């Protein structure tokens, strides 16, 4: 499938570029802008982000695009048998709590799981149900499944707390303040240098729309989904595979 067709439900295919329209399918250019911006500064405020990233999109749309498609830790492609079975099992336990399911399936998003369920697994579940008539209702917790012992389970309690709002910053951020998105490989000295100094991004960041800096090779940064971490002069950054956090240095 063409990954970025320009189309609009209202005006028809390719009548108006998405970058002008600000809705519809994302163009390669928009993806690059968003990806580069978040890698450089993090998603400190989704509502404001598109303005600074130079995108004609609403924050919600940017968030969705990042979460469901651009995040470097995402798996794309077909599901393994184990994943299918796990989704079926989780649906049995959780019902339509897609985000909760996504937590147990590293690299998969709630949207993706939901789509996969509706397009494929629902049928499989139905055929299974025919074979085994005594089917539990979704959300009904079975005794054998009541205790989650999934090795990939991680709750917010497992993470260090997100940063407090700093006295100098007027913007609160739940996850990452002007953070460079960090994964392994991308925390090399050269990588950090290519972004510029961490001690000075804030001023331009608040006042200038972001322009994509193509001087670094993004594919190198996106090639790894392994957890990683690095330090700036003031904050400690770490990436747990799905979220980026930072902590004031004194916390460590």
Partner DNA sequence: AAGCCTAGCAACCGCATGTAT
Partner DNA sequence: CATACATGCGGTTGCTAGGCT
Which residues of this chain interact with DNA, rule CB under 7 A?
Answer: 1-2, 4-5, 7-9, 13, 23-26, 43-48, 59-61, 63-65, 68-69, 76, 96-100, 110-112, 114-116, 118-120, 165, 170, 172-175
Beta bridge partners of 237: 230, 246
> How near is the Cβ of 59 to DNA at its closest, in Å?
5
Our CB check for DNA shows the closer of 67 and 231 to be 67
Q: Tell me the CA distances in angstroms from 87 to 45, 132, 144, 149, 167, one per residue in order.
A: 32, 18, 16, 15, 44
Q: Which is nearer to DNA, 113 or 180 (CB)?
A: 113
Nearer of residues 47 and 234 to DNA, judged by Cβ: 47
CB neighbour list of residue 36: distance below 8 Å, 6 or more residues apart: 210, 212, 213, 214, 218
CB 16 within 8 A of CB 24: no
Cβ closest to DNA, residue 101 vs residue 192: 101
CA distance 26 to 6: 7
Least distance (Å) between residue 165 CB and DNA: 6
Cβ of residue 81: shortest distance to DNA, in angstroms? 15
Of 220, 237, 224, the closest CA to residue 72 belongs to 224
* Residue 154 CB, nearest approach to DNA (Å): 13
């Amino acid at each position: 499938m063409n990954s970025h067709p320009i189309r609009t439900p209202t005006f028809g295919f390719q009548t108006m570029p998405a970058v002008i329209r600000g809705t519809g399918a994302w163009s390669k250019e928009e993806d690059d802008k968003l990806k580069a911006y978040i890698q450089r500064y993090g998603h400190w405020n989704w509502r404001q982000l598109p303005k600074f990233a130079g995108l004609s999109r609403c924050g919600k749309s940017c968030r969705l695009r990042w979460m469901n498609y651009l995040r470097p830790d995402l798996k794309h492609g077909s599901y393994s048998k184990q994943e299918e079975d796990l989704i079926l099992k989780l649906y049995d336990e959780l019902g339509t709590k897609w985000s909760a399911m996504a937590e147990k399936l590293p690299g998969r998003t709630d949207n993706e799981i939901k789509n996969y369920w509706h397009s494929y697994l629902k049928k499989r579940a139905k055929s299974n149900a025919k074979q085994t008539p005594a089917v539990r209702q979704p959300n009904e917790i079975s005794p054998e499944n009541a205790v989650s012992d999934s090795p990939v389970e991680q709750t917010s309690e497992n993470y260090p707390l997100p940063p407090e709002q700093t006295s100098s910053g007027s913007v609160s951020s739940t996850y990452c303040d002007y953070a460079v998105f960090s994964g392994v490989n991308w925390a090399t000295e050269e990588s950090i240098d290519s972004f510029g100094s961490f001690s000075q991004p804030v001023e331009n960041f608040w006042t200038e729309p972001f322009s994509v800096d193509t001087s670094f090779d993004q594919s190198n940064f996106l090639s790894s989904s392994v957890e990683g971490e690095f330090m700036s002069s003031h904050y400690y950054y770490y990436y747990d595979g799905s979220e980026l956090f930072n902590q004031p240095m004194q916390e460590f």
